[in-house]
Each structure stands twice: as C-alpha cells, then as structure tokens.
C-alpha cells in the first residue's frame, strides 16, 4: 500500500506540474457555474412575477439543463485530457522499461496511477460541491439527499471514465491516440445497449455493459446496488485489462495462456454483473426527501400483499400501431416500466405473446404506413408489416391460433397486458395520451384488483338512459368504459356493465347501481327492482336533468328526495345562464381532497335544486350553487344573457343544494346513495371541464370506501422558494465564476513558474 501511495503522489505532482490539470479545473468550474446561475436567475425572475414552482432541487440539479445534467453532457470530454498520458508517457519516453524492471509490482503501478486520478476526480466533485452548498443555502428546504446522490453518481462515472482512460493509455505511446481511443470506448459503452436487442442472451449482455440510464437513475435520487456494482465491475475490468496488458510485455507466456486470462477476467466480470442485476439481488436506497423514486405507501402496501408469482402477459399484435413497444428490440425499455414494482414484488414474471389479427383494418392507424393493402389478406398484410419492421412473421401466431388462446376482439386487438394471480385476472392498456403507458396509479389498481373483491358498476339501460358504449355529448363512455382513457373506471380497477331492469334483476355482485337520466318513465317492474335493491342495502347513484323530473321523481320518492320545479341560473353575465359552477360543501372531504381548493368548481349545466326530507338516512350536501344565483321557475333561453330574477314568479335566490349523499347503517355495512340534480357533469363533453373528472373519481372512491381509484398522490415538495436576492446571487456568481477560477489559474501559474526557475 505504501508503494501505491508513493506512486499516486508522484503521479499527482506530474499532473499538476502541467497546465492541463489547472486549466481543466478552471474551465470545469466556469462551465458548470454558468448554467447553474443562469437557471437560478430564471427562477428568481419567475418568482418575482408572482409565479410558483416547487421541486427546485430537482429542477436545478438533475433536471434538464440543471447543474448535474450539464456536467453529465460534457464530463466525458475532460477525462481523456487527463488520462491520455498516464501510460503513453511511459511508453514514449522509454521509462516503462525502468518501471517493469523495478521491484514494484505491476498492479501497484496501475493502482497508484489510478489513485491519482481518483484524487483529481474528488477535486472535480469538490467544485460541484461548492455549487451544491450554494444550492442548499439558498433553496428553501433543499433536498440534500438528492444532491448527495447526484454527486456520488458523477464521482462513480468519473472513476469509471478514468479506469477506461488508463487502459487505453496503456495500449499506445501516442497520447492523442490514447485520448481519441478513450472517447471511442465511451461512445461504445453508451450505445452498446442497442446492439443485438432482438436476441435474448445478447440483449442481456449488452444491456449490462451499457452506461446509458445508470447515471440518470442515481442523479434522480435512486441508488441501487446493481448500478453501484456495475461501476465497480467496469472499473475492475479495465484496471484488470491494464494489468494484464503490462504483464504480457513482462512475461514470456504462450498466446493461448494470455488470451485465457483475458477471457477469464471478462467472464468473471460478466457473471458478477449478471448475478448483481437479478431483481432478487438488488438493494435500493431512495435518497430523495419525498421518496419520489419509490412507490407511494399505498402502492407498497398493495404490492406486499402479493405472495408468489405475479404473471404479466403482454399481447403484441403485429398489425397494431403500438407493435414496436412490445418487440424484443424494445424489451429492456418495456421491462423498466415495472422496475419500481419489482422492488416490492420480485416474483413478477413477464411473458410476451406475438400474434397478428385485425378487428377493423379500415380504421387501423398502423395501416397508413403500409402503403397499398387493397385486396391483400390478413396474412399478406402481416407479411408486409413484418418486412417493413424487419422481423420474422413466423414468430407471430396467426388469427386462428391466438383466438384459441384468448379472445382480444373486445379490446380491438390492441397492445394489452393481462395480469394473473391466484386465478384472478386484470388488464393494463395503452392510452390516447402523450404518455401512452400505464403509470403507478393504473398498475397499482390492476394489481389491487387481483387481491380484493371486484368492484362492479352497473348502469341501467332500456329507458333511454345515458350510454356507456357510445361516444357523444350526452354519453358516459369516456369516464366509465373508454379503454383508451387513462382515468376511465375500467382502467382504475372497476368492472363496468349494464342491465335492463325491465327484463332482468340487478346483478348480485353489484357495487354501485347507476340510474343516469332516464328519458322515459320507468316501468313498474324496473321501479320495483330498484326498490328491492335499495331495501337490501345496495349503493346507488341517481342523476337526472330538470326536464326529466317527472320521470325520476317517482324513483326518488322512495328515498324522500325530489327534483324541485325550475332550474338554477348563474348570475355571471359572462357565462351561460344555465351553467352553474358548483362548490364542494361536503362535511367529509376524505375522498375529495382536490375539491377543497379555493378555485375548485364542478361545472353543472341545466341543474335542478334538490329537496330532501329522507327518513332513516344521514344527509350531506356535496355541491351547492353560488349564493348570487337563483332557482328560476319559468323556462328561459339558455343562450340569453339577460335572464332576470323574478321573485313574484316563485324564483328563490341563494345557494341551493345540487348534489346530496344519503347514508345509513344497513346490516354490517353502510349503504350509500348519491343523488344529483344534473346528469351532464359526467358526460363526454364536460368531464374535461374544471374539476369534473377529479370529482367523479372522488365519487367512486367514496362508493368503494377508498378502494378505487387508487390514491397515489404525494405531498407537495417543500423546496419552492429561493432564499436569496439578486445582490446575493450576484456575489455568489462573481466569486465562483471569476474569483475562484482566477485563483486556480494563478496558483497553477505560480507553481509552474516556480518549478521552471528551479
């Protein structure tokens, strides 16, 4: 060890007796600080304009164009300048012969030189540490753990670059060649992850060797044993290769023996990398203050209830527009989407089934890229698509075989995953959004559905109620049954179906029965079935429009509730008079957290006031109209801007109840009924208005006792302010961008001049 330290000390002195080391430090500090203070200035201006921003630590450090992100983009340029002469200098000057003939072991020489580079790497990290300290001082409640994880990540990356540079320097006596070769290896390790992705064994091998993604994980606060061991193994590999390279020039051994040593070293490193990257062997540490790189507590609790294998089968249709996401070339990216869940469910088994089938070729978005397909059979089209994707069509099951395995026609034969656990199944779909893939809420809901009783929402049909199968202004498809809508009930853990009560009873497993704005009078059998369902303690949601009060009031009469005459008028002249912006007034906001903000409103067009005098129920008013509006008895033109208040005609001014809940103890459960004087707030054309969709989610979370949709929200980050004024930032900027770099350059110049005089 003493010899290693002496060699390291000598190498450090040689390094700093050249202007390169000093210039790199100064340039590195200026380059890193310029972007950092630019970002700080931008956020300070944002705050001065009255805007708000949180999670500042993430934005200023590992975020796009943040300090660590900028360093990551340029760090690879600095290291070859420092490592190119480590061994090349010895070869070109001939001093390598003295080293090899001295009583110093080769590994001591290599480790000593490498230790010198680690010392320099620590100096680079110290510069980043100065900016990190400034960030901690001026950012309110800065996320220190995130910053420390980022520094550790960049140090390991720098140490890895140094080991590679040391090896490349040992291959040539030309320093420029060594530098260029080092850059080439950096590029190879960055892009090797894309090689051979269609072959399982090669894919796993190249993915392990790839640098891409590992640093980003740690920069964002998630430190895993797999990533740390990867860096240590790559460092060990290149240091070992360097030692073997020098030994080959010192020892006279057969070529096969020398090659065998290289093969043995590489094999051991790859084997250790494979073992350390297995899900069961990975340890995790989320260094962020909010634990943002870890599943929320709700998801963790559900994940821990999975005992045994959880099978996820992905069905990939060659004729679907999302086929590429499921192909072997995208496998590692696809598997990474479940990495957070593997941490808590190591028994996840991922299977892929490839097939080709078509439900509706004429409207298939993928066909527009395939050219002329007129007159072609499904098989011929599949062959054409396979040729365009450069895949073997023989690896895809034909329609007759996939249909025997599973019927995916109801899903439109689109990209879909089926989760299986202890005989129960659930599905994950892709959505018509910028981010098409399921996220934590959807994955957690699909898993939770496997371990608790099904939540079945049954919509009554047969009397011109709102449709859940057709998309339209009056329909309920988007929030209930739309497979491509992320927040629809079927993608949040619920099952959805319909029933015609004129001909059938309410299904026994019903969680909530929904009567949505029947336009025709219900038959006596239908009303009787609803009555029996309510008497048995069933949950129900009833929504109606004012023009259908004569249809719905006979049903509501059983509950002691009625839609009053007239319709609510909004006093705001800038809005339609019948468009009421209702405020949440419920006594319990457990399931309606998003509705408690000062601007949270639910849009209800053409709403009726509710009159409630139920017996045996506890009444709570969820929504009320504004106090300056009124209930108008006479009909009015909804497009008019001059609807007047006429108390002589019976109009009543003030805040009126528009939606109420009824609850009562029934057996060993609490029966829940929700009644709304408006049915449009859940319609396809209004769920995007104001807070309608969050409010709808709250309603069904209330019905399911918090079961679904799964709540995966996190506390708002506290680092939401910069605790420094412009003058203070200017001082910090001047010191770090001008003062310290000038001192570094001056110190280097003084040392070099002193040495030259001696």
Written in H, E and C, the secondary structure of 456-516 is: EEEEEECCCCCCCCCCCCCCCHHHHCCCCCCCCHHHCCEEEEEEECCCCCCCCCEEEEEEE
- Residue 622: which pLDDT band, with cuts at 50, 70 and 90? very high
The pair of three-digit structure tokens given for residue 164, joined into one six-digit string? 């590679």
Tell me, yes or no, whether 259 and 120 share the same domain: yes
pLDDT at residue 319 tops 80: yes
- Note whether 278 and 349 are same-domain residues: no
Say if 192 falls within a structural domain.
yes
pLDDT the model gives residue 205: 67
Evaluate whether residue 711 is within a structural domain: no
Domain identity same for 25 and 55: yes
**Span 714-723, mean pLDDT?**
87
- The reported pLDDT for the residue numbered 672 is 96
* Same domain membership, residue 416 and residue 491: no
Question: Which one, of 139, 134, 115, 155, lies nearest residue 7 by Cα?
Answer: 115
> Are 184 and 265 contained in the same domain?
yes
**pLDDT of the residue at 206:** 67
Task: Note whether 135 and 272 are same-domain residues.
Answer: yes
Percent of the chain with pLDDT over 70: 93
Q: Tokens standing for 104?
A: 């110093």
* Last residue in a domain, options 375, 405, 424: 424
Q: What is the pLDDT of residue 690?
A: 76
Which pLDDT score, from 0 to 100, does residue 43 have? 86
pLDDT tens for each residue of 74-113? 888 888 888 888 788 777 766 766 666 677 788 888 899 8
Whether 708 has a pLDDT exceeding 60, the answer reads: yes
633 is a domain residue: no
Both 394 and 361 in one domain: the answer is: yes
- Asked whether residue 697 is domain-assigned, the answer is yes
CATH number at residue 491: 3.40.50
In a domain, 116, yes or no: yes
Q: Is 535 part of a structural domain of the chain?
A: yes
Together in a domain, 696 and 751: no
Same-domain status, 525 and 664: yes
Instruction: Examine the domain organization and report whether 341 and 210 are in the same domain.
Output: no
Are 62 and 158 in the same domain? yes
Of 149-163, 621-635, 738-752, which has the strongest mean pLDDT? 149-163
Q: Are 235 and 228 in contact (CB under 8 A)?
A: no
- Residue 159 CB coordination number (10 Å): 20
Per-residue pLDDT tens digits for 11-53: 888 888 888 889 999 999 999 999 899 888 888 888 888 788 8
CA–CA distance, 614 with 619 (Å, rounded to integer): 8
Q: Which two tokens mark 614?
A: 């139920």
Domain that holds residue 86: 2-288+725-757
Residue 368 scores a pLDDT above 70: no
Decide if pLDDT at 406 tops 90: yes
Residue 652 lies in a domain: no
Task: Judge contact between 70 and 35, C-beta under 8 A.
Answer: yes
Q: How far apart are CA 121 and CA 159, in angstroms?
A: 7
301 in the same domain as 281:
no
- 637 located within any domain: no
Q: What percent of the chain has pLDDT over 90?
A: 44
Place 282 in a pLDDT band, splitting at 50, 70 and 90: confident
Q: What's the whole-number mean pLDDT along residues 711-718?
A: 87
Confidence of residue 245 (pLDDT cuts 50, 70, 90): confident
Task: Report how many domains make up the chain.
Answer: 3
């Amino acid at each position: 060890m003493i010899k290693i330290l002496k060699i390291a000390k000598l190498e450090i002195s040689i390094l700093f007796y050249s202007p390169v080391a000093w210039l790199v430090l100064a340039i590195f500090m200026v380059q890193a600080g310029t972007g950092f203070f630019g970002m700080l200035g931008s956020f300070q201006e944002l705050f001065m304009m009255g805007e708000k921003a949180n999670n500042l630590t993430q934005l200023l450090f590992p975020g796009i164009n943040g300090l660590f992100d900028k360093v990551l983009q340029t760090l690879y340029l600095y290291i070859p300048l420092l490592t190119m002469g480590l061994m090349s200098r010895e070869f070109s000057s001939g001093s390598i012969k003295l080293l090899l003939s001295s009583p110093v072991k080769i590994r001591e020489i290599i480790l000593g030189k490498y230790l010198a580079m680690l010392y320099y790497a620590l100096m680079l990290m110290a510069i980043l540490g100065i900016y990190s300290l400034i960030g901690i001082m001026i950012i309110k409640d800065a996320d220190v753990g995130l910053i420390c994880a980022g520094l550790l990540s960049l140090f390991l990356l720098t140490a890895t670059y140094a080991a590679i540079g040391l090896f490349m320097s040992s291959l040539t006596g030309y320093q420029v060649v060594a530098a260029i070769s080092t850059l080439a290896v950096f590029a190879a390790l960055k892009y090797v992850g894309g090689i051979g992705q269609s072959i399982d064994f090669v894919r796993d091998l190249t993915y392990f060797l790839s640098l891409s993604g590992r640093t980003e994980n740690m920069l964002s606060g998630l430190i895993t044993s797999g990533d740390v061991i990867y860096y240590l193994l790559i460092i060990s590999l290149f240091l070992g290769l360097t030692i073997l390279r020098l030994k080959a020039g010192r020892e006279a051994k057969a070529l096969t023996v020398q090659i065998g040593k290289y093969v043995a070293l590489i094999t051991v490193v790859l084997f250790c990398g494979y073992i350390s990257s297995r899900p069961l062997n990975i340890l995790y540490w989320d260094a962020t203050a909010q634990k943002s790189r870890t599943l929320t507590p709700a998801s963790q609790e559900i994940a821990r209830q999975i005992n045994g294998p959880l099978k996820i089968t992905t069905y990939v249709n060659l004729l679907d527009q999302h086929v590429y996401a499921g192909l072997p070339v995208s496998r590692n990216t696809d598997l990474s989407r479940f990495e957070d869940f593997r941490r808590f469910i190591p028994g996840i088994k991922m299977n892929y089934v490839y097939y080709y089938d078509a439900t509706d070729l004429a409207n298939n978005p993928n066909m527009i890229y395939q050219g002329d397909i007129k007159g072609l059979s499904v098989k011929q089209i599949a062959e054409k698509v396979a040729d365009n994707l450069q895949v073997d069509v023989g690896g895809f099951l034909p329609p007759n075989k996939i249909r025997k395995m599973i019927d995916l026609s109801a899903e439109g034969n689109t990209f879909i995953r089926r989760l299986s656990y202890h005989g129960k199944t659930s599905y994950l779909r892709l959505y018509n959004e910028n981010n098409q893939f399921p996220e934590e809420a959807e994955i957690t809901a699909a898993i939770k559905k496997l371990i608790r009783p099904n939540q079945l929402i049954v919509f009554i049909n047969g009397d011109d109620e709102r449709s859940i199968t057709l998309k339209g202004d009056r329909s309920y498809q988007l929030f209930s049954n739309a497979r491509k809508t992320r927040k629809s009930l079927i993608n949040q853990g619920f099952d959805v179906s319909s029933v015609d009560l004129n001909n059938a009873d309410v299904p026994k497993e019903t969680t909530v029965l929904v009567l949505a704005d029947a336009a025709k009078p219900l038959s006596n059998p239908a009303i009787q079935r609803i009555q029996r369902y309510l008497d048995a303690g069933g949950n129900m949601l009833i929504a109606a429009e004012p023009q259908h009060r004569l249809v719905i009031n006979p049903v509501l009469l059983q509950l002691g509730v009625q839609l009053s005459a007239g319709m609510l008028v909004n006093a705001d002249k800038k809005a339609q008079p019948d468009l009421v912006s209702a405020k949440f007034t419920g006594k319990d906001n457990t399931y309606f957290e998003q509705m408690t903000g000062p601007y949270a409103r639910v849009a209800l067009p053409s709403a009726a006031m509710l009159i409630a005098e139920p017996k045996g129920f506890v009444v709570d008013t969820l929504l009320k109209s504004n106090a300056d509006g009124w209930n108008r008895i006479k009909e009015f033109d909804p497009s008019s801007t001059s609807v007047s208040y006429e108390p002589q005609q019976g109009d009543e001014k003030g805040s009126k109840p528009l939606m109420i809940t009824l609850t009562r103890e029934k057996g060993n459960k609490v029966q829940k009924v929700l009644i709304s004087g408006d049915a449009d707030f859940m319609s396809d054309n209004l769920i995007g208005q104001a807070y309608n969709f969050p409010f709808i989610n709250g309603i069904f979370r209330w019905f399911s006792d918090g079961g679904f949709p799964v709540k995966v929200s996190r506390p708002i980050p506290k680092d939401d302010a910069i605790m420094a004024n412009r003058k203070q930032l200017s001082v910090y900027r001047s010191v770090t961008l001008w003062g310290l770099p000038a001192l570094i350059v001056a110190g280097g110049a003084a040392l070099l001049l002193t040495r030259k005089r001696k």
